[in-house]
Amino acid sequence: MTHPVAIIGVGWSGFRPVTPDVSYKELIYEAAVRAYADAGVDPRRDVDSFVTVSEDFHEGTSIFDEYVPDQIGGAQRPVHTITGDGLHGLAAAVMQILTGRFRVVVVEGHSKASNILTLPHITAYALDPILNRPLQVNPLAVAALEACRYMHESGATREQCGAVVTKNRRNALRNPAAAYGADLRTEDVLASEVVASPLARLEISDHADGAIVIVLADAETARRLSPHPAWIRGIGWANDSPSLESRCWARAVYAERAAAMAYKMAGIGNPVEEIQFAEVDDTYAYKELQHLEALGLCAQGRAGPLTREGATAPDGCLPVNVSGGSLGVGHLLEASGLARVLEVVLQLRGHAGSRQLGDVYTGLAQSWRGVPTTSGAVAVLSNQLGGRES
Protein backbone atom coordinates (compact mmCIF):
# COMPACT_ATOMS: atom_id res chain seq x y z
CA MET A 1 0.00 0.00 0.00
CA THR A 2 1.34 3.39 -0.94
CA HIS A 3 0.31 6.33 1.21
CA PRO A 4 -1.84 8.51 -0.91
CA VAL A 5 -3.78 10.31 1.83
CA ALA A 6 -2.45 12.70 4.45
CA ILE A 7 -3.80 15.03 7.08
CA ILE A 8 -2.60 18.51 6.15
CA GLY A 9 -4.61 20.68 8.51
CA VAL A 10 -6.12 20.49 11.99
CA GLY A 11 -8.21 22.98 13.92
CA TRP A 12 -10.09 22.81 17.17
CA SER A 13 -12.10 24.92 19.55
CA GLY A 14 -12.69 24.14 23.21
CA PHE A 15 -12.50 21.84 25.03
CA ARG A 16 -14.50 23.07 28.00
CA PRO A 17 -17.22 21.64 30.24
CA VAL A 18 -19.62 24.38 29.08
CA THR A 19 -19.53 26.90 26.22
CA PRO A 20 -22.45 29.26 26.84
CA ASP A 21 -20.80 32.06 24.87
CA VAL A 22 -21.02 30.38 21.48
CA SER A 23 -23.61 28.47 19.50
CA TYR A 24 -22.63 25.13 17.99
CA LYS A 25 -22.22 26.90 14.66
CA GLU A 26 -19.84 29.46 16.15
CA LEU A 27 -17.90 26.75 17.96
CA ILE A 28 -17.46 24.79 14.72
CA TYR A 29 -16.63 27.91 12.70
CA GLU A 30 -13.70 28.68 15.01
CA ALA A 31 -12.29 25.17 14.56
CA ALA A 32 -12.84 25.31 10.80
CA VAL A 33 -11.08 28.65 10.35
CA ARG A 34 -8.10 27.33 12.28
CA ALA A 35 -7.95 24.13 10.27
CA TYR A 36 -8.09 25.94 6.92
CA ALA A 37 -5.42 28.41 8.01
CA ASP A 38 -3.28 25.49 9.17
CA ALA A 39 -3.72 23.66 5.86
CA GLY A 40 -3.43 26.77 3.72
CA VAL A 41 -6.69 26.13 1.88
CA ASP A 42 -9.75 28.23 1.14
CA PRO A 43 -12.84 26.11 1.82
CA ARG A 44 -14.88 27.99 -0.77
CA ARG A 45 -12.35 27.21 -3.49
CA ASP A 46 -10.03 24.35 -2.64
CA VAL A 47 -12.12 21.73 -0.85
CA ASP A 48 -13.79 19.06 -3.00
CA SER A 49 -15.98 17.41 -0.39
CA PHE A 50 -16.94 17.68 3.29
CA VAL A 51 -17.83 14.90 5.73
CA THR A 52 -19.42 15.65 9.09
CA VAL A 53 -20.26 13.32 11.96
CA SER A 54 -23.24 13.70 14.27
CA GLU A 55 -26.18 11.89 15.82
CA ASP A 56 -29.61 13.53 15.85
CA PHE A 57 -30.37 12.78 19.48
CA HIS A 58 -27.10 14.36 20.60
CA GLU A 59 -28.07 17.54 18.78
CA GLY A 60 -31.75 17.65 19.71
CA THR A 61 -32.44 18.13 16.03
CA SER A 62 -33.71 15.61 13.51
CA ILE A 63 -31.83 15.38 10.22
CA PHE A 64 -29.06 17.43 11.80
CA ASP A 65 -27.00 17.35 8.62
CA GLU A 66 -29.23 20.23 7.52
CA TYR A 67 -27.30 22.51 9.83
CA VAL A 68 -23.71 21.54 9.05
CA PRO A 69 -22.65 23.20 5.79
CA ASP A 70 -22.44 26.93 6.53
CA GLN A 71 -19.96 26.96 9.40
CA ILE A 72 -17.49 24.70 7.56
CA GLY A 73 -17.64 26.62 4.29
CA GLY A 74 -19.56 23.81 2.62
CA ALA A 75 -22.73 25.50 1.37
CA GLN A 76 -23.57 24.44 -2.20
CA ARG A 77 -20.79 21.86 -2.15
CA PRO A 78 -20.69 18.07 -1.74
CA VAL A 79 -21.35 17.58 1.99
CA HIS A 80 -22.68 14.55 3.78
CA THR A 81 -22.95 13.23 7.30
CA ILE A 82 -21.81 9.93 8.74
CA THR A 83 -23.70 8.98 11.88
CA GLY A 84 -20.59 7.58 13.45
CA ASP A 85 -17.52 8.56 15.34
CA GLY A 86 -15.14 11.10 13.81
CA LEU A 87 -12.84 8.24 12.83
CA HIS A 88 -15.64 6.78 10.69
CA GLY A 89 -15.90 10.21 9.09
CA LEU A 90 -12.14 10.16 8.54
CA ALA A 91 -12.48 6.76 6.88
CA ALA A 92 -15.19 8.12 4.58
CA ALA A 93 -12.88 10.97 3.60
CA VAL A 94 -9.98 8.59 2.97
CA MET A 95 -12.17 6.43 0.74
CA GLN A 96 -13.31 9.45 -1.25
CA ILE A 97 -9.73 10.52 -1.89
CA LEU A 98 -8.70 6.97 -2.80
CA THR A 99 -11.32 6.92 -5.59
CA GLY A 100 -9.15 9.48 -7.36
CA ARG A 101 -12.00 11.95 -7.82
CA PHE A 102 -11.33 14.11 -4.75
CA ARG A 103 -8.12 15.86 -3.79
CA VAL A 104 -9.03 17.73 -0.62
CA VAL A 105 -11.71 16.46 1.77
CA VAL A 106 -12.63 17.93 5.16
CA VAL A 107 -13.96 16.11 8.24
CA GLU A 108 -15.83 17.86 11.05
CA GLY A 109 -16.97 16.63 14.45
CA HIS A 110 -18.23 18.45 17.50
CA SER A 111 -19.82 18.15 20.90
CA LYS A 112 -22.30 20.42 22.63
CA ALA A 113 -22.86 17.83 25.31
CA SER A 114 -23.52 20.57 27.86
CA ASN A 115 -26.75 21.41 26.00
CA ILE A 116 -28.20 17.92 26.51
CA LEU A 117 -30.11 18.00 29.78
CA THR A 118 -31.07 14.32 29.77
CA LEU A 119 -27.98 12.63 28.36
CA PRO A 120 -28.35 9.35 30.28
CA HIS A 121 -31.89 9.04 28.90
CA ILE A 122 -30.66 9.76 25.40
CA THR A 123 -28.01 7.06 25.73
CA ALA A 124 -30.66 4.64 26.97
CA TYR A 125 -32.61 5.19 23.75
CA ALA A 126 -29.82 3.36 21.95
CA LEU A 127 -30.86 0.15 23.74
CA ASP A 128 -33.24 -2.22 22.03
CA PRO A 129 -36.67 -0.64 22.60
CA ILE A 130 -38.45 -3.95 23.14
CA LEU A 131 -35.92 -6.20 24.83
CA ASN A 132 -33.78 -3.92 26.98
CA ARG A 133 -35.25 -0.49 27.48
CA PRO A 134 -38.28 -1.58 29.53
CA LEU A 135 -35.85 -2.80 32.23
CA GLN A 136 -35.06 0.88 32.90
CA VAL A 137 -31.46 0.21 33.76
CA ASN A 138 -29.00 3.08 33.49
CA PRO A 139 -27.05 2.40 30.27
CA LEU A 140 -23.88 2.83 32.32
CA ALA A 141 -24.69 -0.63 33.61
CA VAL A 142 -23.87 -2.03 30.18
CA ALA A 143 -20.33 -0.76 30.63
CA ALA A 144 -20.27 -2.14 34.15
CA LEU A 145 -21.30 -5.59 32.90
CA GLU A 146 -18.51 -5.49 30.38
CA ALA A 147 -15.97 -4.20 32.91
CA CYS A 148 -16.91 -7.00 35.26
CA ARG A 149 -16.41 -9.71 32.64
CA TYR A 150 -13.28 -8.09 31.23
CA MET A 151 -11.67 -7.85 34.65
CA HIS A 152 -12.70 -11.42 35.44
CA GLU A 153 -11.08 -12.84 32.31
CA SER A 154 -8.05 -10.57 32.04
CA GLY A 155 -7.21 -10.32 35.70
CA ALA A 156 -7.22 -6.54 35.52
CA THR A 157 -7.71 -4.93 38.93
CA ARG A 158 -9.42 -1.80 40.16
CA GLU A 159 -6.01 -0.40 41.08
CA GLN A 160 -4.88 -0.81 37.49
CA CYS A 161 -8.00 0.97 36.26
CA GLY A 162 -7.31 3.69 38.81
CA ALA A 163 -3.80 4.05 37.40
CA VAL A 164 -5.30 4.78 33.98
CA VAL A 165 -7.30 7.62 35.49
CA THR A 166 -4.40 9.21 37.36
CA LYS A 167 -2.14 8.95 34.30
CA ASN A 168 -4.61 10.46 31.85
CA ARG A 169 -5.77 13.29 34.06
CA ARG A 170 -2.17 14.13 34.89
CA ASN A 171 -1.31 14.08 31.17
CA ALA A 172 -4.17 16.52 30.61
CA LEU A 173 -2.41 19.08 32.83
CA ARG A 174 0.11 19.51 30.00
CA ASN A 175 -2.61 19.88 27.35
CA PRO A 176 -3.94 23.47 27.21
CA ALA A 177 -7.04 22.26 25.35
CA ALA A 178 -7.97 19.68 27.98
CA ALA A 179 -10.91 20.34 30.27
CA TYR A 180 -10.20 17.95 33.12
CA GLY A 181 -6.51 17.99 34.04
CA ALA A 182 -5.95 16.94 37.67
CA ASP A 183 -3.28 15.54 39.91
CA LEU A 184 -4.98 12.58 41.53
CA ARG A 185 -3.80 9.55 43.44
CA THR A 186 -5.08 6.06 42.68
CA GLU A 187 -6.62 6.03 46.16
CA ASP A 188 -8.75 9.04 45.19
CA VAL A 189 -10.15 7.11 42.24
CA LEU A 190 -10.84 4.00 44.29
CA ALA A 191 -12.48 6.07 47.01
CA SER A 192 -14.84 7.86 44.64
CA GLU A 193 -18.44 6.73 44.84
CA VAL A 194 -19.39 3.54 43.04
CA VAL A 195 -21.86 4.32 40.26
CA ALA A 196 -22.35 0.83 38.87
CA SER A 197 -19.89 -1.62 40.30
CA PRO A 198 -17.11 -2.08 39.41
CA LEU A 199 -17.20 1.45 37.96
CA ALA A 200 -16.54 4.37 40.31
CA ARG A 201 -17.25 8.00 39.59
CA LEU A 202 -13.69 8.98 38.65
CA GLU A 203 -13.33 6.08 36.22
CA ILE A 204 -16.02 7.58 34.00
CA SER A 205 -15.04 10.38 31.65
CA ASP A 206 -16.98 13.62 31.84
CA HIS A 207 -18.23 15.31 28.73
CA ALA A 208 -16.84 18.48 27.23
CA ASP A 209 -17.92 20.87 24.47
CA GLY A 210 -15.68 21.39 21.48
CA ALA A 211 -15.23 21.07 17.76
CA ILE A 212 -12.52 19.55 15.60
CA VAL A 213 -11.98 20.03 11.87
CA ILE A 214 -9.42 18.03 9.90
CA VAL A 215 -8.26 18.63 6.32
CA LEU A 216 -7.13 15.63 4.27
CA ALA A 217 -5.48 15.58 0.87
CA ASP A 218 -4.09 13.20 -1.72
CA ALA A 219 -0.33 12.71 -1.84
CA GLU A 220 0.44 15.25 -4.52
CA THR A 221 -1.60 18.00 -2.91
CA ALA A 222 -0.28 17.14 0.55
CA ARG A 223 3.32 17.42 -0.57
CA ARG A 224 2.60 20.72 -2.27
CA LEU A 225 0.70 22.33 0.60
CA SER A 226 2.03 20.87 3.80
CA PRO A 227 5.47 21.05 5.43
CA HIS A 228 4.42 18.27 7.80
CA PRO A 229 1.83 15.89 6.33
CA ALA A 230 0.62 13.13 8.64
CA TRP A 231 0.16 10.13 6.39
CA ILE A 232 -2.79 7.84 7.01
CA ARG A 233 -1.08 4.51 6.55
CA GLY A 234 -4.02 2.40 7.59
CA ILE A 235 -7.62 2.79 8.63
CA GLY A 236 -10.19 0.27 9.73
CA TRP A 237 -13.56 0.05 11.41
CA ALA A 238 -15.87 -2.76 12.52
CA ASN A 239 -18.87 -3.71 14.62
CA ASP A 240 -19.48 -6.65 16.90
CA SER A 241 -23.09 -7.49 17.71
CA PRO A 242 -25.33 -4.53 18.59
CA SER A 243 -27.46 -6.88 20.64
CA LEU A 244 -26.72 -7.25 24.35
CA GLU A 245 -27.81 -10.86 24.05
CA SER A 246 -25.16 -12.02 21.61
CA ARG A 247 -22.00 -10.01 22.13
CA CYS A 248 -18.62 -10.80 23.56
CA TRP A 249 -18.50 -9.18 27.00
CA ALA A 250 -14.82 -9.66 27.77
CA ARG A 251 -12.97 -8.55 24.67
CA ALA A 252 -13.34 -5.54 22.40
CA VAL A 253 -13.88 -7.62 19.27
CA TYR A 254 -14.75 -4.53 17.20
CA ALA A 255 -11.35 -3.03 18.02
CA GLU A 256 -9.58 -6.31 17.17
CA ARG A 257 -11.23 -6.36 13.77
CA ALA A 258 -10.82 -2.67 13.06
CA ALA A 259 -7.13 -2.93 13.98
CA ALA A 260 -6.65 -5.97 11.75
CA MET A 261 -8.08 -3.99 8.82
CA ALA A 262 -5.92 -0.95 9.54
CA TYR A 263 -2.73 -2.98 10.12
CA LYS A 264 -3.27 -4.91 6.90
CA MET A 265 -3.63 -1.68 4.95
CA ALA A 266 -0.56 -0.23 6.68
CA GLY A 267 1.48 -3.38 6.20
CA ILE A 268 2.02 -3.67 9.92
CA GLY A 269 2.80 -7.21 11.05
CA ASN A 270 3.92 -6.52 14.58
CA PRO A 271 2.16 -3.54 16.11
CA VAL A 272 4.17 -3.73 19.34
CA GLU A 273 7.30 -3.01 17.32
CA GLU A 274 5.87 -0.49 14.91
CA ILE A 275 3.40 1.62 16.89
CA GLN A 276 5.32 4.03 19.11
CA PHE A 277 2.44 5.73 20.86
CA ALA A 278 -1.31 5.43 20.94
CA GLU A 279 -4.39 7.49 21.63
CA VAL A 280 -7.12 5.02 22.49
CA ASP A 281 -10.67 5.24 23.72
CA ASP A 282 -10.84 5.59 27.52
CA THR A 283 -14.48 6.55 27.99
CA TYR A 284 -14.22 4.35 31.06
CA ALA A 285 -10.85 3.55 32.60
CA TYR A 286 -11.07 -0.21 31.93
CA LYS A 287 -11.68 0.54 28.25
CA GLU A 288 -8.12 1.80 27.81
CA LEU A 289 -6.79 -1.51 29.09
CA GLN A 290 -9.24 -3.62 27.09
CA HIS A 291 -8.53 -1.61 23.94
CA LEU A 292 -4.73 -1.84 24.25
CA GLU A 293 -5.09 -5.62 24.32
CA ALA A 294 -7.56 -5.65 21.42
CA LEU A 295 -5.18 -3.52 19.36
CA GLY A 296 -2.41 -6.05 19.92
CA LEU A 297 -0.24 -3.44 21.63
CA CYS A 298 0.26 -5.85 24.50
CA ALA A 299 -0.71 -9.43 25.32
CA GLN A 300 -4.11 -10.27 26.75
CA GLY A 301 -4.13 -9.49 30.46
CA ARG A 302 -0.94 -7.42 30.29
CA ALA A 303 -2.39 -3.92 29.86
CA GLY A 304 -3.17 -3.51 33.55
CA PRO A 305 0.24 -4.51 34.91
CA LEU A 306 2.01 -2.45 32.22
CA THR A 307 0.00 0.59 33.22
CA ARG A 308 0.84 0.10 36.89
CA GLU A 309 4.51 -0.20 35.95
CA GLY A 310 4.36 3.10 34.04
CA ALA A 311 4.90 1.65 30.58
CA THR A 312 2.00 3.70 29.17
CA ALA A 313 3.11 6.96 30.80
CA PRO A 314 4.60 9.66 28.54
CA ASP A 315 8.09 8.49 29.46
CA GLY A 316 7.24 4.80 29.17
CA CYS A 317 7.89 2.46 26.26
CA LEU A 318 4.35 2.85 24.89
CA PRO A 319 2.91 6.27 25.77
CA VAL A 320 -0.90 6.05 25.75
CA ASN A 321 -3.26 9.03 25.76
CA VAL A 322 -0.58 11.66 26.21
CA SER A 323 -3.34 14.17 25.38
CA GLY A 324 -5.18 13.12 28.51
CA GLY A 325 -7.67 10.94 26.64
CA SER A 326 -11.38 11.34 27.20
CA LEU A 327 -10.79 11.13 30.94
CA GLY A 328 -8.54 14.18 30.84
CA VAL A 329 -9.63 16.10 27.74
CA GLY A 330 -13.33 15.43 28.22
CA HIS A 331 -15.53 13.11 26.17
CA LEU A 332 -16.51 14.89 22.96
CA LEU A 333 -19.35 12.64 21.75
CA GLU A 334 -18.83 12.02 18.00
CA ALA A 335 -15.70 14.20 17.97
CA SER A 336 -13.90 11.93 20.44
CA GLY A 337 -12.11 9.92 17.75
CA LEU A 338 -10.99 13.13 16.08
CA ALA A 339 -9.51 14.29 19.39
CA ARG A 340 -7.42 11.12 19.39
CA VAL A 341 -6.33 11.80 15.80
CA LEU A 342 -5.61 15.45 16.61
CA GLU A 343 -3.11 14.45 19.30
CA VAL A 344 -1.39 11.93 17.04
CA VAL A 345 -1.01 14.60 14.34
CA LEU A 346 0.36 17.18 16.78
CA GLN A 347 2.86 14.66 18.17
CA LEU A 348 3.98 13.57 14.69
CA ARG A 349 4.54 17.20 13.74
CA GLY A 350 6.42 18.01 16.94
CA HIS A 351 3.72 20.55 17.83
CA ALA A 352 2.61 19.03 21.13
CA GLY A 353 4.26 21.62 23.37
CA SER A 354 5.31 20.56 26.83
CA ARG A 355 3.87 17.07 26.34
CA GLN A 356 5.84 16.44 23.12
CA LEU A 357 7.22 12.91 22.88
CA GLY A 358 10.77 12.52 21.62
CA ASP A 359 11.44 11.25 18.09
CA VAL A 360 8.11 9.68 17.18
CA TYR A 361 7.14 8.71 13.66
CA THR A 362 4.17 6.30 13.92
CA GLY A 363 1.12 6.61 16.16
CA LEU A 364 -2.30 5.02 16.43
CA ALA A 365 -5.71 6.53 17.12
CA GLN A 366 -8.69 4.42 18.13
CA SER A 367 -12.32 5.16 18.94
CA TRP A 368 -15.35 3.44 20.37
CA ARG A 369 -18.91 4.73 20.02
CA GLY A 370 -19.84 4.22 23.65
CA VAL A 371 -22.52 2.15 25.31
CA PRO A 372 -24.41 0.22 24.21
CA THR A 373 -22.54 -0.06 20.89
CA THR A 374 -19.85 -2.43 19.77
CA SER A 375 -18.59 -0.06 17.12
CA GLY A 376 -15.04 1.17 16.82
CA ALA A 377 -12.42 2.44 14.42
CA VAL A 378 -8.63 2.59 14.18
CA ALA A 379 -6.21 4.78 12.23
CA VAL A 380 -2.44 4.42 11.94
CA LEU A 381 -0.58 7.62 11.11
CA SER A 382 3.03 8.32 10.25
CA ASN A 383 5.08 11.41 9.55
CA GLN A 384 7.32 9.49 7.16
CA LEU A 385 6.33 7.43 4.18
CA GLY A 386 7.06 3.76 4.71
CA GLY A 387 7.92 4.13 8.39
CA ARG A 388 11.30 5.03 9.88
CA GLU A 389 13.57 4.00 7.05
CA SER A 390 12.23 6.04 4.16
Partner 1 sequence: MTQRIASYPGTALSEEDIERGHVLSVHDQLRADYAWDAGLAIGLYLDGLKAGVILGVRCRRCDRTVVPPRAFCEQCFAPMDAFVPLADVGIVNTFSLCYVTWDVKRIVEPLIPAVIDLDGTSPPAGIMHLLGGVVPDRVHIGMRVRAVWKPARARQGAITDIRYFKPLRRG
Partner 2 sequence: MSMRRVAVVGAGMTRFVRRAMETPKELAWHASRMALDSCGLTLNDVGGVCIGSAPDAFDGVHMKGEYLSDGSGAWGKPVMRSYVGGGTGVFLGPHGWYHVASGLFDVVLVVAEEKMSSFYPHAQAAFLTIFDHTTERPLEPNLLWIFALEMNRYMQTYGISKRDIAQVAVKNKRNAADHPCAMLGEANITVEDVLNSEVLAWPVQRLDVSPVSDGAVAIVMAAEGVAERITDRPVWVQGVGWNLDTAYWTNRDLAYPEYVERAARMAYEMAGVREPRKEIHVVEPYDPFDYKELHHLEGLLLADRGKAPELTAQGVTARNGAMPVCPSGGLLGVGNPITAAGLMKVAELFWQLRGEAGARQVPGTPERGLAQAWGDLMQVGTVTILGTQRPS
Question: Is the separation of the CB atoms in 237 and 258 below 8 Å?
Answer: yes
118 binding partner 1? (CB under 8 A): yes
Distance, C-alpha 328 to centroid of its chain = 13
Spell 274-301 as b/e; 16+ CB within 10 A means b.
Answer: bbbbbbbbbbbbbbbbbbbbbbbbbeee
114 binding partner 2? (CB under 8 A): no
Q: Say which amino acid occupies 374.
A: T
CA distance 204 to 199: 7
Smallest separation, CB 20 to partner 1 (Å): 5
Cβ distance to partner 1 smaller for residue 70 or 220: 70
Of 115, 192, 300, 384, the residue at the interface with partner 1 (CB under 8 A) is: 115
183 binding partner 1? (CB under 8 A): no
Cβ distance to partner 1 smaller for residue 45 or 101: 45
Of 6, 28, 32, 82, the residue at the interface with partner 2 (CB under 8 A) is: 82
Residue 46: other Cβ atoms inside 10 A: 18
Spell 173-204 as b/e; 16+ CB within 10 A means b.
Answer: bbbebbbbbbebebebbbebeebbebbbebbb
From the list 78-86, 223-231, 341-349, 379-387, the region that binds partner 2 by CB under 8 A is 78-86
**Planar angle of CA 332, 92, 14, nearest 5 degrees:** 25
Residue 120: other Cβ atoms inside 10 A: 10
Q: How many residues bind partner 1 (CB under 8 A)?
A: 34
Identify the CA nearest to 240 among candidates 290, 165, 289: 290
Question: Is the separation of the CB atoms in 94 and 344 below 8 Å?
Answer: no
Residue 126 touches which of partner 1, partner 2, none (Cβ within 5-8 Å per kind) = partner 2
Cβ distance to partner 1 smaller for residue 21 or 315: 21
Binding mask 234-263 for partner 2 (x = CB under 8 A): --xxxxxxxx--x------x---xx--x--
19-78 binders of partner 1 (CB under 8 A): 19-27, 29, 33, 42-44, 57, 60, 69-71, 73, 75
Smallest separation, CB 176 to partner 2 (Å): 31
For residue 75, CA distances in Å to 25, 27, 60 come to 13, 17, 22
Binding mask 324-363 for partner 2 (x = CB under 8 A): ----------------------------------------
- Applying CB under 8 A, the residues found at the interface with partner 2 are 55-57, 60-63, 65-70, 74-84, 88, 91-92, 94-96, 98-101, 122-123, 125-126, 128-130, 236-243, 246, 253, 257-258, 261, 265, 369, 372-373, 375
